[in-house]
Amino acid sequence: MKISVIITLKKDVLDPQGKVIHQTLDGMGFNDINEVRQGKYFEIDTKESDPKKAKNKVEEMCKKLLANLVIENYKIIEV
Amino acid sequence: MKSSVITFPGSNCDRDMDVALKKFGFKNKMVWHNDVEIPKSDLVVLPGGFSYGDYLRCGSMASKSKIMSSVINFAKSGGLVMGICNGFQILVETGLVPGVLLRNKYLEFICKNVFVKINNKKNTYFKNINKDVVEFHIAHNEGNYFCTKDQLTEIEDNQQIAINYCNKDGKIENQFNPNGSIKNIAGIFNKEKNVLGMMPHPERMIDTSLSGEDGSIFFKNLINNLK
């Protein structure tokens, strides 16, 4: 089965890339943006067929490698 | 004195470190990341570079490589482990030193000489060093040191800040902060002070005709402290 993971920066962590993207969008005429935050997206195809077990494994992956919990949050989504 | 330099796929300061360590009297061995055990060492160095192409987060892949369990055990048993630049990024990813290194504040790769002030000399790395401010070289894209408020309080209480970016007179001010690091932090210790991570490269300052001598002062002092 497939599991997705979205990694986002925590609220109080500076995101200079997001800021520049925001400025560029603003320059292109998208003037109604409050803020842009850049993150990461993963699709993990696992042999595990039990959704609960698969999610638990992916959560472990997030904690151990995919996210750095000092600065990032993760969200696991079943596809 | 024996040292080991770990080479990861993408390390590019490993040879420079080897030259520097040998120049000042270390018997150095190069160790491949896929090895299981580090040889008997008085000092283990994680060198600069771009291990695993900086994929995912700088240092994240290297921190999980085979040799690192042995390096982590060595550090936890009190052995000296020094991470320079990408080596510092690997150290924060292992959790041996607190915090993380973010993208530089102004999104530019910085390559220049900087002055750093030695903040704590009660450790093997800087004990007896006859200077308070040294000139080292930095070359990085992700050197913006960040940690949580609680971590910062703990780091300060335990005197874990090793060096801060400053001017040549040792003034630590925002205008001398190249990358946006909290409190101008350029290098940090673990609680026990046997693990040091720093962005500047002392190994690039060991020859007057190429750069400067402050790296020589650092390495000479380090090997003397180990004897």
Which pLDDT does position B199 carry in this prediction?
A: 98
Q: Is any Cβ of chain B less than 8 angstroms from the Cβ of A79?
A: no
Report the mean per-residue pLDDT for chain B: 97
Report the mean per-residue pLDDT for chain A: 94
Which pLDDT does position A50 carry in this prediction?
A: 94
User: Is B33 annotated as catalytic?
Assistant: no
User: Is B201 annotated as catalytic?
Assistant: yes
Radius of gyration of chain A (CA): 16
Query: Residue A64: its chain B contacts at CB < 8 A?
Result: 64
Q: What are the tokens at A9? A: 């920066």
**Closest to B142 measured CA to CA, from B32, B57, B67:** B57
Flag if A14 and B102 touch (Cβ within 8 Å): yes
- Give me the sheet containing B43-46, strands edge to edge: B27-32, B2-7, B43-46, B80-84, B195-198, B185-189, B161-166, B110-118, B133-140
Taking only the tens place, the pLDDT of each residue in B61-96 is 999 999 999 999 999 999 999 999 999 999 999 999
Residue of A nearest to B180 (CA): A14
- Residue written as tokens 């993990």? A44
> Strand pairing of B27-32 and B144-146?
unpaired
**Closest to B140 measured CA to CA, from B176, B212, B89, B92:** B89
The Cα–Cα gap between A51 and B8 comes to 36
Which pLDDT does position A64 carry in this prediction?
A: 95
- Give the class (CATH, top level) of A2-78: alpha beta
Which pLDDT does position A78 carry in this prediction?
A: 82
Flag if A14 and B144 touch (Cβ within 8 Å): yes
Q: For residue B183, is pLDDT > 90? A: yes
The Cα–Cα gap between B109 and B138 comes to 10
The Cα–Cα gap between A13 and A21 comes to 16
Determine which helix (DSSP H) or strand (DSSP E) holds A53, and give its type and residue range: helix A51-61
Q: Is any Cβ of chain A less than 8 angstroms from the Cβ of B147?
A: yes
Which pLDDT does position B147 carry in this prediction?
A: 96
Q: For residue B24, is pLDDT > 90? A: yes
Q: What are the tokens at A6? A: 């979205």
Number of C-beta neighbours around residue B216 at 10 A: 17
How does B7-38 read in b/e, with b if 16+ C-beta sit within 10 Å? bbebbebbebbbebbebbbbebeebebeeeeb
Query: Residue A13: its chain B contacts at CB < 8 A?
Result: 102, 146
Distance from CA of A12 to the nearest CA of B (A): 9
The Cα–Cα gap between B79 and B201 comes to 21
Query: Residue B105: its chain A contacts at CB < 8 A?
Result: 14, 16
- Residue ranges per domain, chain A? 2-78
Which pLDDT does position B58 carry in this prediction?
A: 96
The Cα–Cα gap between A3 and A12 comes to 28
For residue A60, what are the contacts with CB-CB under 8 A and spacing of at least 6?
none
Select which of B13, B58, B85, B166 is catalytic: B85
Q: Is any Cβ of chain A less than 8 angstroms from the Cβ of B55?
A: no
Q: What are the tokens at B201? A: 């490269």
Q: How far is CA B197 from CA A36, A49, B46, B145, B227, in A?
A: 32, 42, 9, 11, 22
The Cα–Cα gap between B76 and B221 comes to 24
Which pLDDT does position B209 carry in this prediction?
A: 86
Flag if B105 and A17 touch (Cβ within 8 Å): no
For residue B52, the cross-strand partners are none
Range of the domain at B198: 2-226
The average pLDDT across B134-156 equals 97
Flag if B105 and A65 touch (Cβ within 8 Å): no
Q: How far does CA B26 lie from the centroid of its chain?
A: 18
Q: Which of B104, B107, B180 sits opposite A20 (nearest CB)?
A: B107
Q: How many domains does chain B have?
A: 1
Taking only the tens place, the pLDDT of each residue in B91-129 is 999 999 999 999 999 999 999 999 999 999 999 999 999
CATH code for the domain of B161:
3.40.50.880
Q: For residue A79, is pLDDT > 80? A: no
Taking only the tens place, the pLDDT of each residue in A46-56 is 999 999 999 99
Residue of A nearest to B100 (CA): A70
Q: What are the tokens at B76? A: 């936890």
User: Is B85 annotated as catalytic?
Assistant: yes
Task: Say what angle helices B14-23 and B214-226 make with each other, to 10 degrees.
Answer: 60
> Do the beta carbons of residue B62 and residue B14 sit within 8 Å?
no
The average pLDDT across B218-226 equals 97
The Cα–Cα gap between B13 and B34 comes to 18
Taking only the tens place, the pLDDT of each residue in A6-44 is 999 999 898 988 999 999 999 999 999 999 999 999 999
- The yes/no answer to whether this complex scores an ipTM above 0.85 is no
